[in-house]
Amino acid sequence: MVAAMLPEAKPGHRAPKSFLIDPVALEKAYYENKPDLSKPTQLVSFGTSGHRGTATDGTFTEQHILATTQAICEYRTLAKTTGPLFMGKDTHALSAPAQRTALEVLAANGVETVIQSNDGFAPTPAISHAILGWNRDHTAFADGIVITPSHNPPQDGGFKYNPTNGGPADTDVTGWIQRRANGLLRDGLKDVKRLSHAKALAAPTTRTRDYTRAYVEDLANIIDMKAIRSSGVRIGVDPLGGASVGYWEPIADQYGLNLTVVNKAVDPTFSFMTLDHDLKIRMDCSSPYAMASLVGLKDDYDIAFGSDPDADRHGIVTPSEGLLNPNHYLAVAIEYLLGHRQGWPTSAVVGKTLVSSRLIDKVVASLGRTLWEVPVGFKWFVERLFDGTCVFGGEESAGASFLRRDGRVWSTDKDGLILGLLAAEITAVTGKDPGLHYRSLTQRFGTPYYKRVDTPTTPEEKAAFSKLTPESVTDEFLAGDKITERLVRAPGNNALIGGLKVETAAGWFAARPSGTENIYKLYAESLTSAAHLEQILAEAGSLVSRALAA
């Protein structure tokens, strides 16, 4: 569907009824469609955050979940993981049937499985919190599954595995699970163990719990809830119809906050959403188009924020700036936390992905702390958040987590709830919203101009990204400035970035291929001007083409 066909469809406006999915038909397709195993796109494929797809095109079906869950059961045996598996789902239409399928396999394999009581929802950070909480007190370690495609459109489904460290599984784990799952698919699923859903629910290994209570009661150990309460700061929250919808009122009640949930709707069509920049329904809390409803209420609250359907991302709305760019808020959050968390070890690093703003580098350097720059993907932060040697890990796509106030681990997955509550704490403690803090940073360090562009490419060119070396870049200058760095590995951990980053004193760009589409993502930033940013982007495209052809 395009705007020419439906002129009433506009970014930032409610979706026409013709854009909405049919959840019944989608669930029917989940059970009836079978993947075409001759097509690589229809195999199980773990990207940066699990397997994603949709039932109507054969990329997310019951067969995928049967195979992947059986593979996870076998991986648990290999890894000697004998504790419970904590499983949660978000509000996407395919999440409930996928949880039913997964439970049938887990129960048949004798895996002790814990699901949200009353067939409810559980955000990603609550599952990470539950895994870590169990593993602090037991020697039979727990792990987890979160069923979510994150902020993806309503027709999508997603399935991700978190091992005993509580965070997104690393590539060695997901690679093993992916290979085994695809082997099971090719073998007709004959080695998949399964019970009926009724028997799985009644199995002695299946338990329910309310993930909400333990998570909410622990928040005072990571956020200064007393300061928020005593200030009376007016807070508006939009869960965007996601799994955090049942968390905010218990949080407000527990801590006496002046908090309003501006949208309590849960609807698998997400009919209340405003269209994103490309006229898709996408629950992206970092997009001004998807967040248009909350942005429109910005003057009604001292601080407002939203989260995506599994609540691992944050979107911060301030009276001063509207929706903050995720990079800008990360810089503000880091500066505030390093000045207000006296229990944090000063030797620990501050983590960021290498496509995040250089403004973060300047903030960290100004405070005499060590920056740790890693490839794209939150998995890179997991181990060091877990052992407390990284106090904060953040990525450009509005995902972050940080340590408890005493310096111990809180979660090893992204947590959109605590980043929203941190914005309220900043406003309460300093008397200024995060947008005003961002303005102060630009007065000290200059204004960064940042943009990401998706560029069409071929499968052959995508494959060529993995062969790039620093020597692939023969240019000496970028947008009038001498090139100072040509990177194919991240400075922080020397891990391959899956692409290329080129830096000058006045800006940089990075290019890396998409794992699911025939595009590459081009990130760029100028520390000079918007016009300079456009010059970087224009020259970067040509430079990348030459490097790939070399």
Active site residues: 150
Q: From CA 27, how far away is CA 96, in angstroms rounded? A: 9
Q: From CA 96, how far away is CA 31, in angstroms rounded? A: 12
- Number of Cα atoms under 13 Å in the Cβ half of residue 206: 22
Give the sheet arrangement for strand 235-238, strand by strand. 259-261, 235-238, 303-307, 314-318, 322-323
Could you give the C-alpha distances from 69 to 130, 206, 496, in angstroms and in order? 20, 15, 29
Give every CB contact of residue 151 below 8 A, 6+ residues apart in sequence. 282, 283, 284, 285, 290, 308, 309, 313
Could you give the C-alpha distances from 247 to 114, 260, 407, 517, in angstroms and in order? 19, 12, 24, 34
Q: Which H, E and C letters describe 503-532, residue by residue? A: EECCEEEEEEECCCCCEEEEEEEECCCHHH
Instruction: Please list the alpha-helical segments (H only) found in 169-325.
Output: 171-186, 197-202, 211-218, 225-231, 248-255, 292-295
At residue 245, what is the residue type? V
Q: From CA 533, how far away is CA 531, in angstroms rounded? A: 5
- Residue whose structure tokens are 């796509």: 397
Helices and strands per DSSP (H, E), number in the chain: 17, 22
Give every CB contact of residue 229 below 8 A, 6+ residues apart in sequence. 255, 256, 257
Instruction: Please list the alpha-helical segments (H only) found in 109-170.
Output: 124-137
Instruction: Please list the alpha-helical segments (H only) found in 398-455.
Output: 416-430, 434-445
- Which residue in 95, 424, 29 sits closest to 266, CA to CA? 95
Q: From CA 379, how far away is CA 490, in angstroms rounded? A: 14
At residue 81, what is the residue type? T
